[in-house]
Amino acid sequence: MTVKQKYINNIRSIFFLVLLLLAGCIQHKKEEILKIGFGKANLTQACIFEDPVPVNQKPRPENLYIREEKFAISDRVEGRWRPGSGGIRKLVDSLFVTAMYGEDQNGPWAIIAIDECILSYKQTDNLQYPLINELGIPKERIVILPSHGHAIPEMKPEKYQKAVFDAVKQARENMSEVETASLNIKVDSKKYLINRRIHINGIGSRTVMFNDNCVVHDNYLDATGHIWDWVKNLGVNPKEYLDKDKEYITDGEVDDKLQAIFIRNKKSGKLMGSFVRFAAHAVIVSAKVVNGDVSADFPGYMKRKIEGELGGITLFGQGPCGDLRPLNKEYSHDFAKEYGNILADKIIQDYNNLKWLPLTKLEYYTEPVKIPLIENLFLSEEEVETEMEKVEKLFDQETNPGERRKLQNKFWGLYRTAGFHNMVRPEWKEKNQLSIFLFAIRLNDDVIVATQGEVFTRIGKKMLEPYKAENPVLVSIANEYVSYLPTDEERLKGGYEPSVTIMASGSPDILIQSAHKLLNRIYGE
């Protein structure tokens, strides 16, 4: 062999050695990226259970809720449902923060599930601040998912922030190489859910918040008595507008998906965590009807049973349930537990049939969405009162129930104006539009998509329509609360949700098209 041939062979050997080293580095980097961790922290420590009577509280007049009665805002009448302020709220079921953490080629991300109702943008910023500044997670890669329970107390900001931080930090520290599996269960949804909106021709839609004057059946709610009361409240004889032989029932569209994604340690086979999604307002223990007692509602009981029987840490994601709530026989902690345990059992019984695969695909995505706000949203207290007086005067003069319903809806919007100010960031006010995000995480062929707002179930289904066969997991109410998003068809029918939405008509199409764009990116890869 000549010197020249030896030289060429040496060069070749060095070249192949470098290639092997590069391949090893790439593989090592890949293994580091494809890791996931779970964490959990007790949120109860942050709760404020005191509900004191203000020292300067004045005696309540007998007609304190006269406007609420006139405009049928029954769920807002404190005196009707739970006693007035005073004393300590009882803790029935502990509240928790659960978190899932990972890293892809663009850096870290975190999904955080909270036993909570809703978050203002100030609360969202407070919870995200240490995650951004101490853990280095970019703001747009932090997804907080409140369960939307209605028996949640106020929180101490510092302890609330710490609980969230501790859960995410623990998740980061517990990262390991994993395998994944998923379940897509179709439930007999009419036995568990109702579309709480009932439409009356010539008048409009009514949202049945509670079971007052209703009859609960196995697969529907007979709201005939409730509807008759509502039409009477509109100032007309119900017999002139309602069929005396007809049952007015909850037969609208509902969501039949109970979905779960499981993640286990690749080496030990031990379950690390799960992400469960179901679409139902967590209102079985609404504070208004259980004396203010605190509970995580059915998602809390469901998570507890899954963790107890399967192990790991469970996150809950609320599906698009802007117009959905449980078909519950009663408003009680016992029924919330029963409801949550039933859902958990459906998941547990299918767990042994899972097909596990090593995690080989991990990607985090965002898609910006700009949604216009309705006009005249940010009225002052004085302007609100002036407008309320105008609406009330017109309402008293009007005799047509359909027109009265429209005035009723307008009053509801004015009634909630103070809350609108807390929903919209200053920079959004300037442009009169929401600048929000759709978030997504891909774990092999499983995809979790998160949207902001209380989206109606029909919108949620249209968001996923092109890829419904892939069973993406769509959750809602992510990060700061931006109220309801009804379909434009339901907006015209009125009712509670369209009356308090802050998003302009046409907004559903914007969100749907943005979702399709995001899913095209994900599945196109």
Alpha-carbon distance 478 to 465, whole Å? 21
What does the pLDDT read at residue 3? 54
Alpha-carbon distance 299 to 479, whole Å? 18
Instruction: Specify the amino acid at residue 139.
Output: K
Domain boundaries, the chain: 35-52+63-191+252-373+424-524, 197-240, 381-421
Percentage, residues of the chain above pLDDT 70: 89
**169 pLDDT more than 60:** yes
**465 pLDDT more than 70:** yes
Contact 386, 417 (CB under 8 A): no
DSSP strand pairing (454-455 vs 433-443): unpaired
pLDDT tens digits for range 93-142: 999 999 999 999 999 999 999 999 999 999 999 999 999 999 999 999 99
Number of alpha carbons in the 13 Å side-chain half-sphere of residue 66? 6
What does the pLDDT read at residue 75? 66
Contact 192, 257 (CB under 8 A): no
Phi, then psi, of 174 in degrees rounded to 5? -95, 10
**425 pLDDT more than 70:** yes
Q: Give the residue, 62 or 457, on which the prediction is more confident.
A: 457
Structure tokens at 146: 């409140």
Alpha-helical segments (H) within 174-252: 224-233
What does the pLDDT read at residue 135? 98
**Mean pLDDT value across the chain:** 91
Contact 436, 369 (CB under 8 A): yes
Structure tokens at 325: 């709530």
State the first-to-last Cα distance of the chain, in angstroms, to the nearest integer.
50
What does the pLDDT read at residue 200? 94
Alpha-carbon distance 240 to 260, whole Å? 49
With a CB cutoff of 8 Å and minimum separation 6, the contacts of 371 are: 433, 434, 436, 503, 504, 507, 510, 511
DSSP strand pairing (47-48 vs 154-155): antiparallel
For residues 151-155, give the mean pLDDT.
Answer: 94
Helices and strands (DSSP H and E) totals, the chain: 16, 23
**287 pLDDT more than 70:** yes
- pTM value is 0.91
Q: Give the residue, 111 or 30, on which the prediction is more confident.
A: 111
Contact 458, 416 (CB under 8 A): no
What does the pLDDT read at residue 30? 43
Say if residue 133 is exposed, middle or buried (CB neighbours under 10 Å; 0-12, 13-18, 19+). Answer: exposed
What does the pLDDT read at residue 241? 86
DSSP strand pairing (357-358 vs 324-326): unpaired
What does the pLDDT read at residue 68? 86
| Secondary structure, 3-state, 106-151 | CEEEEEEEECCCCCCHHHHHHHHHHHHHCCCCCHHHEEEEECCECC
| Secondary structure, 3-state, 57-89 | CCCCCCCCCHHHHHCCCHHHCHHHHCCCCCCEC
Phi, then psi, of 40 in degrees rounded to 5? -150, 140
Q: Return the DSSP state at 482.
A: -
pLDDT tens digits for range 466-504: 999 999 999 999 999 999 999 999 999 999 999 999 999
For residues 514-525, give the mean pLDDT.
Answer: 95
Tell me the range of 8-22, 38-52, 122-136, 372-386 where mean pLDDT is highest: 122-136
Contact 378, 432 (CB under 8 A): no
- Confidence band, pLDDT 50/70/90 cuts, at residue 419: confident
Nearest to 284 by CA among 182, 209, 392, 363: 209
Determine which of 219-223, 242-246, 265-269, 332-336 has the lowest per-residue pLDDT on average. Answer: 242-246
3-state secondary structure at position 369: strand
pLDDT tens digits for range 135-144: 999 999 999 9
What does the pLDDT read at residue 29? 46
Alpha-carbon distance 176 to 165, whole Å? 19
**525 pLDDT more than 80:** no
